Amino acid sequence: MTIRFLSPALRRSLFRTSALTTGALVCLTGTAACAEPTPPVRQPAYTSSLLDRPGTQVRPGSAAPPLPGVSALSWVVADARTGEVLAARDAHRRLPPASTLKSLFALAALPRLHPDTRHTVTDAELARVGGGSSLVGVSAGRSYRVSDLWRGVFLSSGNDAVHVLTAMNGGMDRTVRQMRAKARALGARDTHVVSPDGYDAAGQVSSAYDLAVFGRAGLADPQFARYCSTTVASFPAGGWSYPIQNTNRLLTGAGGVARYPGLIGVKNGYTSRAGNTLIAAAHRGARTLVVTVMNPQNGGYAVYEEARRLLDWGFAAAGRVRPVGSLVPAKPRTAPDRARHAAAAAPAFAPSTESDDDSAWPALVLVGAGAAVLLAGCVVIVRRRAATVTRRSGAGGEFVE
């Protein structure tokens, strides 16, 4: 086909149509050349450039204060609003979490149990409470509101209250599955749940990173935030009640530990295997920090003092250090993204690299047929427009085949 003459408008139309046809042919052919599917890209379980490295990680600016001395095996300082990790030590080291694991239990079970629901406790529900566990004083045969039991969990770290709530939530196995699923959804891949109460159990582990993720998620839940920041409450005991106090000493200032200004709370824990563990969140000005400390080697109340020093450092260092990672999980790349990147990386019209595999040929035949149909359509469109212009103006292009 030879084009003798076209008006400027028709020439532009033809050029645009031809460009679209050529682009479609190139893209389709490039895709066919990569007909063999590319393997999915494995994404990290967490967003990090430094957190997966051992040792202490911090990226200070010129005016950043020095990190304090901390004996804990693992710790994290993070911004609760943005999720940016300001500094950390062995953030993904898997260690026994003790009762800080109750924070994950609350994240999984709080939305499923209405706070005003009443429940009469049975002996069977208390039978699995481990010896030496911390207790709030739940008694079989007595009726409790769900909100009373949650206060027993957060303030007294009561394993008896945990097991009653677990039974109300559908039982141990179901609750453990829910906790594992919640951890995965939050990007907390270091945690393996065996028992909701955090009691020492073979294989039950978490990390300073995961505990910080749980603390940050909890602060976003109004019920969780209210329970974890309560210092004193009344716990029912039949016709009377008795006071219970939060065991987080940074929140209450008990036992000779000075209360930390602006502390919101979250959860502390201790077992013989885990040592002392702590999730602590505090608010100052427009910033909220979450700090996690696992197994300080100095013993005693070192977990609180080391958390205090890390909080002080975090508030002073905010804006003066660059993040070393994030508590926000990495989003997996979608299949269309992978296909687009593969097509962009492949050279147009490249032959198949698999000489013994002719699976690309059907795709190439379809590409050729599709391109031919598309080109024929373009000719029809241009002819119709040319005829229209000729009828309206008495001039225009003449096609000679």
Same domain membership, residue 293 and residue 174: yes
Same domain membership, residue 380 and residue 242: no
CA 401/CA 399 separation, integer angstroms: 6
Number of domains within the chain = 2
Instruction: Return the number of other C-beta atoms located less than 10 Å from residue 396's C-beta.
Output: 18
Contact 190/52 with Cβ under 8 angstroms? Answer: no
Mean pLDDT, to the nearest integer, of 304-323?
97
pLDDT for the residue numbered 271:
96
pLDDT for the residue numbered 290:
98
Same domain membership, residue 192 and residue 161: yes
Residues annotated catalytic, as ranges: 99, 102, 157
Mean pLDDT, to the nearest integer, of 215-233?
98
Domain assignment present for residue 48? The answer is: no
pLDDT for the residue numbered 330:
74
Strands annotated E in 80-227: 84-89, 118-120, 143-145
What is the span of the domain harbouring residue 351?
Answer: 2-41+333-400
Same domain membership, residue 118 and residue 29: no
pLDDT for the residue numbered 259:
97
Domain assignment present for residue 342? The answer is: yes
Same domain membership, residue 178 and residue 284: yes
Same domain membership, residue 286 and residue 146: yes
CATH number for the domain that contains residue 77: 3.40.710.10
pLDDT: is 254 or 28 the higher one? 254
CA 290/CA 78 separation, integer angstroms: 5
Strands 2-5 and 398-400: antiparallel
pLDDT for the residue numbered 277:
98
Domain boundary among 326, 350, 380: 326
Mean pLDDT, to the nearest integer, of 276-296?
97
Domain boundary among 326, 357, 375: 326
* Half-sphere exposure for 353 (CA within 13 Å, toward CB): 6
pLDDT for the residue numbered 388:
42
* 73-118: pLDDT as tens digits: 999 999 999 999 999 999 999 999 999 999 999 999 999 999 999 9
* 18-73: pLDDT as tens digits: 443 444 333 333 333 333 333 333 334 444 469 999 999 999 998 999 999 999 99
Domain assignment present for residue 46? The answer is: no
Pick the most confident of 3-7, 17-21, 254-258: 254-258
pLDDT for the residue numbered 310:
98
- The DSSP output letter for 155 is H
Which amino acid appears at position 226 of this protein? Answer: R
∠ at Cα 189 (88, 324), nearest 5°?
25
- Residue 365 confidence (pLDDT) above 90: no
Same domain membership, residue 24 and residue 92: no
For the record, the structure tokens of 75 come out as 């710790």
Q: How many residues does the chain have?
A: 401
- Residue 199 confidence (pLDDT) above 50: yes
For the ranges 150-164, 249-263, 318-332, 341-355, the lowest mean pLDDT is seen at: 341-355
- The DSSP output letter for 191 is -
DSSP SS3 for 145: strand
CA 336/CA 342 separation, integer angstroms: 10
Confidence of residue 332 (pLDDT cuts 50, 70, 90): low
Same domain membership, residue 354 and residue 295: no
